[in-house]
Amino acid sequence: MSSLPETSPVTVPLLVSSKGKDRIAMMTAYDAPTAALLDEAGLDVLLVGDSLAMAVYGEPNTLSATMETMLRHARAVSRACRRALVVGDMPFLSYQTDPREAVANAGRFLSEAGCAAVKVEGGRRVLPAVEAILAADIPVMGHIGLTPQSVHKLGGFKVQGRASGAAEEIRQDARALADAGCFSIVLECVPEGLAAEITEQVAVPTIGIGAGPHCDGQVLVFHDVVGLTRDLRPKFVRRYADLSGTIRDAARAYAKDVRDGSFPNAQESFSDSSKPALRRIY
Ligand code: KIV
């Protein structure tokens, strides 16, 4: 039987105790209507990822996401959710410069945006910030392997941890984050064997993206899942819908109806008489 609640909110302690019992289904969400649908569909965790810079704003990487943008989207997602745990992604330079600033910024995701937790990229190198945020009782999700905010240092979006030295660094990062008190750890683009080992070794759930089937949960970017991503199609993405086609067809049909005069028709227009039923606009 599932250890996560069916209708009541998924909390951080429930998620931690689900390890070894439930597989955690997580997806990104950036706006209220989408978040409401994903929440209704039973996603356990919704991540307001800084990937919104790419998926929503069309940027080439995540580095331009700001605190203000992240908070605005995170608030929209939180307001729409009844059950899913909402995690706010801390953007580039909101936690790397100073642990005190990291705590203040992390706190804003809870107090202003209604999130239950934040996500931070990096392992031991960001431990001072992670520890400071945790000391303020703000739950932290770690994120190691391919950390997109390090795209320029890494030389692109590439699989990490293939060489034995690099794999050991990632293992040590995972242990350090779990020991510090992170409630879960995202493993992005690492070999499946390494992800399996880490999942075995740490007491908190691992959430994979391009990390194979042995993690405790999986996360994908919403736009990739529903076929709204135009150019990049990473190997690890499974596409469950083709919304690009659906939206293009709907837009073409609308434009045709406008041009040939078949939209709007009489039912879609207001008459001059003031019948009560017609006074309601929505
Ligand atoms: O920003 C994001 O969407 C992420 C996930 C891909 C894990 O960090």
| Per-residue model confidence (pLDDT) at position 15 | 98
Decide: 85 and 44 in contact? Cβ < 8 Å: yes
Atom of ligand 1 nearest to the CA of 50: 1
Task: DSSP letter for 267, please.
Answer: G
Report the residue among 27, 47, 189 best suited for mutation to probe ligand 1: largest number of ligand atoms under 8 A from its CB: 47
The CB of 209 under 6 Å from ligand 1? The reply is yes
Cα–Cα distance for residue pair 87/98, rounded to 1 Å: 21
**Out of 68, 121, 131, 188, which one is annotated catalytic?**
188
Q: Is 40 a catalytic residue?
A: no
Of 80, 126, 133, the closest CA to residue 110 belongs to: 133
Which tokens belong to 133? 């945020």
Sign of torsion over alpha carbons 223, 229, 234, 235: positive
Report the residue among 43, 48, 50, 228 best suited for mutation to probe ligand 1: largest number of ligand atoms under 8 A from its CB: 50
The CB of 161 under 6 Å from ligand 1? The reply is no
Task: DSSP letter for 227, please.
Answer: T
Compute the distance from residue 209 Cα to the ligand 1 centre, in Å: 8
Cα–Cα distance for residue pair 48/208, rounded to 1 Å: 16
pLDDT along the chain (282 residues), means of 10: 89 98 97 98 98 97 98 98 98 98 98 98 98 98 98 96 97 98 98 98 98 98 94 88 96 98 97 67 67
Of 89, 219, 92, the closest CA to residue 142 belongs to: 89
Cα–Cα distance for residue pair 14/8, rounded to 1 Å: 11
| Per-residue model confidence (pLDDT) at position 274 | 61
Calculate the alpha carbon distances from 107 to 146, 230, 269, 282 in Å: 25, 35, 49, 38
Of 70, 32, 34, 36, the closest CA to residue 50 belongs to: 70
- Characterise 182 by phi-psi region: left (phi > 0), alpha (psi -120 to 50), beta (else): beta
Instruction: Please report, to the nearest 10 degrees, the dihedral formed by the alpha carbons of residues 192, 195, 199, 204 taken in order.
Output: -130
Compute the distance from residue 156 Cα to the ligand 1 centre, in Å: 15
Decide: 127 and 180 in contact? Cβ < 8 Å: yes
| Per-residue model confidence (pLDDT) at position 275 | 61
Q: How long, in residues, is the chain?
A: 282
| Per-residue model confidence (pLDDT) at position 2 | 79
The CB of 186 under 6 Å from ligand 1? The reply is yes
Calculate the alpha carbon distances from 26 to 39, 86, 127, 208, 234 in Å: 10, 10, 24, 10, 18
| Per-residue model confidence (pLDDT) at position 80 | 98
Cα–Cα distance for residue pair 215/206, rounded to 1 Å: 5
The predicted model scores a pTM of 0.95
Cα–Cα distance for residue pair 256/242, rounded to 1 Å: 22
Compute the distance from residue 9 Cα to the ligand 1 centre, in Å: 22
Which tokens belong to 258? 């406008």
| Per-residue model confidence (pLDDT) at position 155 | 96
